[in-house]
Amino acid sequence: MYQEVPIQATDQTTTYDLTVVIPTFNEKENIGPMIRAVHKICTDNGIYEEILVVDDDSPDGTAEIVRTLKDAMDNLDILVRYSNHGLSPSLYDGIQAARAPLVQCIDCDFSHPPEKIPRFYLCLREQRCDMVIGSRYVKGGEVRNWAFHREILSFGAATLGRTLIPHVHDSGSGFFAINKEILDGVTLTPRGFRMGFEILGKAGWARVAEIPITFKDREMGESKLQWRILLQYLVQCLSILEYNLILRKSTAIARSWRIFLAGGASEQC
């Protein structure tokens, strides 16, 4: 069973501009290069970042690699999770633990381009967007090295997502950044792979932007996509509908449809 937990505002003292949450499970080949890439990109762009690795108790030694790197990096931390494993629960816990008001979520396998992080950050800080999404389905975005059936499934899921949140083209993207303020008092149910869609469907956002990205299949390690994720996505859609239309705890669906029917779409940063 998935537990619904309301997100509360953090009372931690903010010392970072941005928290970069990296969820991991058996990522020993990728975690070191990803941490170094994120830190260099943020440093080169004047962003004082916290890097938070959220590991699902990987048996391959991922956590040990992070702990070794942590000895030389004051801004690196790790949260090891021993139950309720999965991508969305990991992102949820990472967002909860983040010490910065702005949070960037990125996969560890380099399918998401870390060089885009400064652009996400500027959209949140300078343009005051509430959520920024790395999109495969806006002009300039694309997918590389995917099997044809996987492209069809992903596009179909994105199309289904647009029946609920029509002004966003790629609501299922796992490469997104948020201002944590939009989650104050919101009850999220982390399940499956689409944490960004859960936030879009329930949170108190006003401005959502999409940035075109090239999504590449993972460079090292094994893909964790499973068919049960599709079933979890269908259940998630029903849960968001209930949250908005029956429980009336959010107006996210109505807000998105108003923007869409007025001829609008997600903003471009």
What pLDDT, in 10s, does the model give residues 210-265? 999 998 865 554 555 556 778 889 999 999 999 999 999 999 999 999 999 999 88
Asked whether residue 269 is domain-assigned, the answer is: no
Buried b (16+ CB within 10 A) or exposed e, 54-63: bbbebeeebb
What pLDDT, in 10s, does the model give residues 100-155? 999 999 999 999 999 999 999 999 999 999 999 999 999 999 888 777 777 787 77
How high does pLDDT run on average in the chain? 91
Asked whether residue 3 is domain-assigned, the answer is: no
Asked whether residue 6 is domain-assigned, the answer is: no
What pLDDT, in 10s, does the model give residues 69-108? 999 999 999 999 999 999 999 999 999 999 999 999 999 9
Asked whether residue 268 is domain-assigned, the answer is: no
Asked whether residue 164 is domain-assigned, the answer is: yes
For the domain that residue 60 is a member of, what is the CATH number? 3.90.550.10
Count structural domains, the chain.
1
| Containing structural domain, residue 238 | 13-262
Asked whether residue 114 is domain-assigned, the answer is: yes
What pLDDT, in 10s, does the model give residues 181-201? 999 999 999 988 899 999 999
Asked whether residue 180 is domain-assigned, the answer is: yes
Asked whether residue 122 is domain-assigned, the answer is: yes
